[in-house]
Amino acid sequence: MIKKKIAILGSSGNLGGYFVHFFNSDLNSQINKFTDVYFVSRKNNNKTEKKNSTNLHYLNYKNFKKIKSLDYIIYLASSSNSKKYTSSNYKYYYIKLKQDLKSLYKKFPKSKFLYFSSGAVYGDKKKTNSNKIYNFSKYYYSLNKKMSEIHLKNFSKQYSYKIIILRGYSFFGPFLLNKHINSFVVNNFIKQSLTTNIIKIDNPNCKKIYRSFLCYDDLVKNVLEIIKLKFQNYLILNMGSDQKISLYNLAKKIQKITGSKIYIKQSKSKIYESDEISYYPNLRLLKKYINFHQNNLDKSLEKVINLEKFELSHYKKVTKPKNLVLTSGPLITDNEKKYVLDSVTNSWGKYKNKYNDKLTTQIKKKFKIKYAIPCSSATGALHLALEAMGIGKNDEVILPAISWIAIARAVTLVGAKPVFVDVCDKTLNIDPEKIENKISKKTAAIIVVHMYGYSCEIEKILKICKKYKIKLLEDSAPALGSMNKNKYLGTIGDAGVYSFQGAKIVTSGEGGMLITNNKKIYDKALTISNFGIKSTEMKYYWVRYNGLKYKMSNLQQSMIYAQLKSLNYILEKKNIIHNLYKKYLFNNKNIYLIENNKNCRPNHWMNTLIIKNKKFNNKTIIEYLYKNNIDTRPIFPMITEYPMWKYYSFKLNKENLNTSKFIFNKGINLPSGVNLDKKTIIKICNLVNKFIYSNKLYNSI
């Protein structure tokens, strides 16, 4: 997820202190994972705690000006010292506010602006002598606040700038309000923040004006809650309980349709995750009260209601069948037990790299490659490879439109832009004929994926890379052991990666590998994978470069070391399984298994069935087979269709992806685990053939 940036201007003031405190004390929680927070202040306030964390930054205004983009600006800067307010200078404050606003708007037109109109907006002219806190002109102070709010509203209208005014109150005086948050106030607050620009908070249960203050503590907590929910593309369903239709089912439906995680808020103040709840609202109330902060409320609701019948039955209790035939599964021999036990028992201290050495030697020898770096995952290895190739900002990287998100995320992690190319329907691999059209001056690399273990047309693509002098990265995450002519996939481009995630042909639960014949790429990747410390560094802990940590543990390496010893056997077994599917499955030009390109020897990681019928949607066959104790997986969706892209500022190319658009829901991965027996494969084939016949899917398209 792309990190959202929040600036808190005026962070050394009273309320600023609360923000600093909350972000600091929230170090392990969700919000810090996806935010970069800039506390901006003229003063260096020592009162507040300042923990060191990579996402919390403390800046002065000079450095603040260097920030290029912001998602939220929380403006606390206009009331730093209320004692200053007099009839002659209060005007200065809102003039300054207006100037500030204009320049902020100019620089950050897309940011959301939260203005805290804190303080005694309803204040009176009287001074209180008994308490020195009141020794300032409250009247001018509150006048200034009111004027500022008016200016902000006008400004908001004039520029269509999203400004949220939060009228919280501070805690001066004898009426300290360190009480619990009133649930009504919180509900109202969240609801208003999602639907309107102006939020006013009054506590209706308190009669006296001063008692209606919501103390900063609570205010800040709630602001963070809203920011958190909005950032994560969560939807808030704001409704009561005790109604007729299962909210759980409805929430699930909306979650499925919108791809958003859903929180459900009961009439009390607590917010629950949808997986844990079972409250009952009705549909009329749902329509009335759901407050999506996105504008597409109506559209989403239409879909919810149209799909209701189907979805409700779909989410009826599904009990997992006994003896479910799984899609994948590892081969565990005595070797795994032997080497993992050895690693657990002996590979510590000075032997901590024992299996790193063994595994890298084994990989280099087996796959005839010069360099190998064991990593925590293939995703990490992809990221590492791009970093080591020097791909970064202003670069474009070409990718297939159908594959796993890992490739696109690796590209955005280095700051480059992904450019998607259509796939071939026969192999689901990138279509080499459509690549050159998408090459621009900014193209720095192509990532090819050998989908489900079947080689892409690597030689053609290699030629294109040479012609345009761009790098070639092979995502061979699923293609360990597959070959093109006499070369292993992953070893042909500038670099390649393998995955050892749980479903892969060789596995240690999680894990990956970066391989290359290029010494420069290897050296750089190795340094980055170890915090930026060079392997030749003489000084202990001495970090010379920007790095990450993408290492694989010795335990995992011992497991992979053992698994690779069985690779030839696994490949033979996979070939037999594939031939059985080929023999027993209905087969014509519209219904086929993904096959190898010429000269390729695939590992047959998955047996992928494509049914090229317009009517067909893989969901139906997945459900049918599941009811018959057969577990399958859909093929990957199109990467371009994920809701996450809305968090990026660049425009995604979606043109000329017609094959991908047609094919993405036409395929399923059949059970392909190495332990599958012939009888089970024949049973699966019979079921699939029956499904195809009974649904008349064999007609030509």
Binding site for ligand PLP (CB under 6 A): 377-379, 403-404, 406, 449, 475, 477-478, 499, 501, 512
How many contiguous H segments (helices) and E segments (strands) does the chain have? 21, 25
For residue 304, what are its two tokens?
């919810």
Question: Minimal CA–CA distance to 701: which of 621, 594, 614, 589?
Answer: 614
Smallest separation, CB 512 to ligand PLP (Å): 5
Dist CA 50 CA 22 (whole Å)? 11
CA 353, chain centre distance (Å): 33
CB 479 within 8 A of CB 455: yes
CB 624 within 8 A of CB 691: yes
Which sign, positive or negative, has the C-alpha torsion 133, 134, 135, 138? positive
Smallest separation, CB 477 to ligand PLP (Å): 4
DSSP state of 423: B
Phi then psi for residue 170, to 5 deg, are: -90, -170
For residue 329, what are its two tokens?
């599964």
Smallest separation, CB 464 to ligand PLP (Å): 20
By annotation, the residues acting in catalysis are 504
Dist CA 202 CA 204 (whole Å)? 6
Question: Minimal CA–CA distance to 447: which of 506, 384, 500, 400?
Answer: 400
Smallest separation, CB 636 to ligand PLP (Å): 8
Burial letters 393-411, b for 16+ CB under 10 A, else e: eebbbbbbbbbbebbbbbb
Q: Which residues lie closer than 8 Å to 665 by C-beta, 6 or more apart?
A: 616, 617, 618, 619, 634, 637
Q: Which is nearer to ligand PLP, 383 or 417 (CB)?
A: 383
CB 490 within 8 A of CB 515: yes
Q: Which is nearer to ligand PLP, 48 or 484 (CB)?
A: 484
Q: Which is nearer to ligand PLP, 218 or 475 (CB)?
A: 475
Report the chain's terminal Cα–Cα distance, integer Å.
39
Q: Which is nearer to ligand PLP, 56 or 445 (CB)?
A: 445
Q: Which is nearer to ligand PLP, 291 or 379 (CB)?
A: 379
Smallest separation, CB 413 to ligand PLP (Å): 12
For residue 151, what are its two tokens?
């200016």
Q: Which is nearer to ligand PLP, 114 or 477 (CB)?
A: 477
For residue 218, what are its two tokens?
């609570």
Smallest separation, CB 447 to ligand PLP (Å): 9
CB 574 within 8 A of CB 672: yes
For residue 457, what are its two tokens?
């047309």
Q: Which is nearer to ligand PLP, 410 or 465 (CB)?
A: 410
Q: Which is nearer to ligand PLP, 118 or 379 (CB)?
A: 379
Question: Minimal CA–CA distance to 450: which of 473, 470, 469?
Answer: 473
Q: In what order do the strands lie in the sheet with 198-200?
A: 56-59, 35-40, 4-9, 72-75, 112-116, 163-167, 198-200
Smallest separation, CB 390 to ligand PLP (Å): 21
Q: Which is nearer to ligand PLP, 281 or 512 (CB)?
A: 512
Dist CA 353 CA 561 (whole Å)? 13
3-state secondary structure of 394: coil
For residue 203, what are its two tokens?
């506590």
* Strand positions, DSSP E, 77-130: 112-116
Dist CA 597 CA 582 (whole Å)? 16
Dist CA 261 CA 207 (whole Å)? 39
Query: By CB neighbour count within 10 A (0-12 exposed, 13-18 middle, 19+ buried), where does 197 fall?
Result: middle
Dist CA 442 CA 393 (whole Å)? 10
Smallest separation, CB 560 to ligand PLP (Å): 12
Q: Which is nearer to ligand PLP, 378 or 533 (CB)?
A: 378
CB 205 within 8 A of CB 180: no
Q: Which is nearer to ligand PLP, 391 or 477 (CB)?
A: 477
Smallest separation, CB 671 to ligand PLP (Å): 17
Q: Which is nearer to ligand PLP, 478 or 481 (CB)?
A: 478
DSSP string computed for 132-191: GGG-S-HHHHHHHHHHHHHHHHHHHHHHT--EEEEE-----SS-----PPPHHHHHHHHH
